[in-house]
Amino acid sequence: MKIEPQPFEPERYEFVEPPRYRFSVSRRAFVQSVGAGLLISGFVDFSAFGQQRGGDDETPAIGGRFHIGKDGRITAFTGKVEVGQGARTQLTQAAAEELCVPIAQIDLVMADTGLVPNDGGTYGSLTTSRTVPAMRQAAVATRELLIELACKAWAVSTDGASMRDGVIEHANGKKMTLAELAAGAENIAGTLQDRSAEGGALTAVEAWQTLGKTVAPVNGPSVVTGKHRYTSDIRREGMLYGKVLRPPAYGAELTDVDMKAAEAMDGVVVVRDGAFVGCAAPTSYLAQQALNALASTAKWTTKPHPASDELFAYLKSNTREGTGRQRSREEASGDVDAALAASKNVVRAEYHIPYIQHAPMEPRAAVAEFDGNKLTVWTGTQRPFDVQREVAEALGLSASNVRLIVPDTGGGFGGKHSGDAAVEAARLAQAAKRPVAVHWTREEEFTWAYFRPAGVMEIAAALDGDGRVTAWDFTNFNSGGSGLGCPYAFGNVRTRFWNCESPLRQGSYRALASTANHFARESFIDLLAAKAGADPVAFRLQYLEEPRLKAVLEAAAAKFDYAGKRMQASANTGYGIACGTEKGSFVATCAEVAVDAVAKTYIIKRVCVAYECGAIHNPQNLQAQVEGCVVQGLGAVLHEAMKFKDGKILYTRFKEYEVPRFKDVPPFDIVLLNRPDLPSVGAGETPIIAIAPAVANAILHATGAAVNALPIRLA
Amino acid sequence: METVVFTLNQESRSVTTEPGRTLLDVLREDLGATGTKYGCGEGSCRSCVVLMDGRPVTTCQTPIAKANGKDIVTIEGLADGDTLHPVQAAFIAEGAMQCGYCVPGMVLTAVALLKANPKPTEAQINEFMNGNLCRCCNYPNIVRAIQRAAGTAEGVAK
């Protein structure tokens, strides 16, 4: 198969798995829709997705963004979700900044498709770069309108009028609170609805009162008191607890199940619709009893499935064309083959990363409730409007009859793009004619949630007689194109991505494939530097062109005293560095690693990170995101790899699949480079990309042996 | 069916239910105490911790019968009216929450730690808290919050 040279696009969204179930009702709807000439938009319909996000929704009339209550409280609306990245606080800050009101005067409604504009999914670090500006723009227009209304009431010109701390003031000494304004205004909602968000000037960074400052999480009080209702905490009148019969292995198909014993249980509802078998009961305990009864009678056919032990060879021998952003593709400049052929010193290496799970603390959950043919679903997803459509299509409803609400959710990390639990709860609720909650167990989450893709990275590079790099050839199998572009000016550069037949369901992850591609590239750079006899920092700086990337590299090296430590390193200690850029921000990470060559173990003694994402919105949350990224990235270094055999996922518990704990956290130094002169970009992903290669390079330094796989195990 | 009587956040509660159910399920499904979270079902993440007679227990591993006669405090019962417990206040001040799902279990475990050891070192905090998982990996801020509540550090809230 030939792959066409095509430019790499920034990846926003990688989930391309087909729906898990085809319900009888949705098959009918599918046929009807196609007959009527309508496009059924599945997961891979990027065109409709793009149009939707790029449409009018993101910049609605200000009535779509704000509501002013009679009590003077402001309700703001966004389609973004809160999954722990801090969007709720950040967007509240953004609104408060431009409205000139205290943060406490604003309530933010997020991700309720019945109420909010479609700001696109919450991924790709787009909240900061796109939604914050949209929120600020609407807030400016709203503030100007409120000032106009007050001046109209006072019968004065708006010259000399302003707003501060939620109070409209005039140079003539008059003052009016929003409550007073709202009480006097005839139709404030209608007036907001008529006004465009366009036009007004955003507050300059130097003048920020609320943005740029540490703001404690606005939902903090409800979180620490247990009052916040995550999806799994939603309780509805008459609600049942649902369970779904899972196959015993990947690829297994149900041939028979006896539902009688489960149906005979008091209060239990059982559903079979094609491959879907589920039950619902007044308690989760009873639902589990019913599920056990179903599982004991279920008969399945299984088929061969590749094992994790043979995964990397399997991926390389199962490439395919792929579609959309996932298509196999290649980008090249110069003549890589000629440069490789001309070199006497070609360095080659292959890197492996396994499937890993997001394992959010809140497993997938949903509550579905019908009122006639109208359906309301609460679920934790990063793509509320897409999952609204997913649920509607699965059940054969029109999207306008489905309201999807995303309560602030217990973790996502790119793992909650799909609506699995929402579809399951909706199908059960349809059958039970009562609200149904589906709460995935940890075992289900480990087994049936989609994975961060595994991948193979092959790199070849040519050095000339002076130790200069003359060719760079990088191929990624399966894990994705993010971070594939080479930031080093090597002259002849080729990058390839091969879409592969994936044995496991796979999708997005924090920073997508950038974790894989940076691990491989930055580890290989140190190998090249060693072959060239160069210092790894100087070697990088020789080829880096982007000043912001150089700046973080130099800042991390300086704070860590990289040069000094490398010189005085003891026998069993290594110092590594790595850097990279993704989604418009820049990171460099240093690691000190102590190696026990006899026991084949290592300890990460210290980590230093320099990070830059433009103008900083909330220093405390930024620091937390950077620390969280690095420690989550350490999980992939130290522990995480999914094992599977005969279609069975072998690690289904935290006792088997280890994730970072308190004791895994090394001492940290963080340097946050603030660039008030540059636009702010999102910081919830990029800081994860450089920790693994920094540790790998420290081990190379300590032992002289290259690291070629995650998690890192010493040979 | 089995009848179990215990004190929940200073109120006496009586539950008659299947003996196979866990305290976690009864708290969440029968008593509305949904602040106590399911995370793993095997005691490996401590999202489901409550204080039982002052000691932290994983309710997913506690059959309901074991609650009989006990004094149970869940996250909903920790504050004194509108006044947050110092550990709760410290978690907010230090931004010791990202998604927040682990926070109830973290806070209650930290309360138990500070009761047993009012001035823990950082190593002692890591040791005591190591069974509590935070997948957002916000551990540094959680340690700072516990130090703030203990008065052993200024914290780093800027």
Q: Give me the DSSP letters along A453-492.
A: PPEEEEEEEEE-TTS-EEEEEEEEESS-STT-S--B--SE
CATH for the A231-302+364-439 domain, from 3.30.470.20, 3.40.50.1820, 1.10.3720.10, 3.30.365.10: 3.30.365.10
pLDDT for the residue A15: 55
Fold (CATH) for A56-224: Aldehyde Oxidoreductase; domain 4 (3.30.365)
Cβ distance A223 to B41 less than 8 Å, yes or no, reads no
Q: Which residues contact A452 (CB under 8 A, 6 or more apart)?
A: A355, A356, A357, A358, A414, A415, A506, A507, A509, A515
Give domain limits for chain A.
Answer: 56-224, 231-302+364-439, 318-356+451-703
A226 vs B contacts (CB less than 8 Å) = 33-36, 74-76, 104
Closest-CA residue of chain B to A234: B34
Q: Which of B38, B42, B156 sits opposite A655 (nearest CB)?
A: B42
A503-to-A60, A509, A644 alpha-carbon distances in Å: 43, 17, 10
Closest-CA residue of chain B to A213: B158
pLDDT at B33 over 90: yes
| CA torsion, ordered A371, A374, A379, A384, to nearest 10 deg | -160
Give domain limits for chain B.
Answer: 2-77, 86-150
Query: Which segments in chain A show pLDDT lower than 50?
Result: 1-13, 27-56
How would you label B92-126 residue by residue, b for 16+ Cβ within 10 Å and e otherwise? bbbbbbbbbbbbbbbbbbbbbbbeeeeebeeeebb
Q: Which of B89, B130, B138 sits opposite A628 (nearest CB)?
A: B138
Contact A86/A217 with Cβ under 8 angstroms? yes
- The CATH class, in words, for B2-77 is alpha beta
Cβ distance A631 to B37 less than 8 Å, yes or no, reads no
Peptide bond into A10 cis (omega under 30): no
Cα–Cα distance, A693 to A518 (Å, whole number): 7
Choose from A662, A663, A672 for mutation: most chain B CBs within 10 A. Answer: A662
pLDDT for the residue B158: 36
Cβ distance A224 to B107 less than 8 Å, yes or no, reads yes
Label the pairing between strands A374-379 and A402-405: parallel
First to last CA, chain B: 54
Q: What does the pLDDT look like over A503-561, one tens digit per residue?
A: 999 999 999 999 999 999 999 999 999 999 999 999 999 999 999 999 999 999 999 99
Label the pairing between strands A436-439 and A455-463: unpaired
Contact A140/A101 with Cβ under 8 angstroms? no
pLDDT for the residue A26: 57
B84 vs A contacts (CB less than 8 Å) = 221, 224-225
Tokens at A383, concatenated: 């793509």
CB atoms within 10 A of CB A2: 6
Closest-CA residue of chain A to B124: A663
Q: Which residues pair with A78 in a beta bridge?
A: A110
Minimal CA separation from A61 to chain B, in Å: 31
Name the architecture of domain A318-356+451-703.
Answer: 2-Layer Sandwich (3.30)
Task: Report the greatest alpha carbon distance in chain A.
Answer: 85
CB atoms within 10 A of CB A339: 23
Give φ, ψ of A436 to 5 degrees: -130, 135
- The CATH class, in words, for B86-150 is mainly alpha
Closest-CA residue of chain A to B143: A662
Cβ distance B100 to A223 less than 8 Å, yes or no, reads yes
Cα–Cα distance, A572 to A558 (Å, whole number): 22
Contact A499/A322 with Cβ under 8 angstroms? yes
Contact A682/A508 with Cβ under 8 angstroms? no
pLDDT for the residue A192: 84
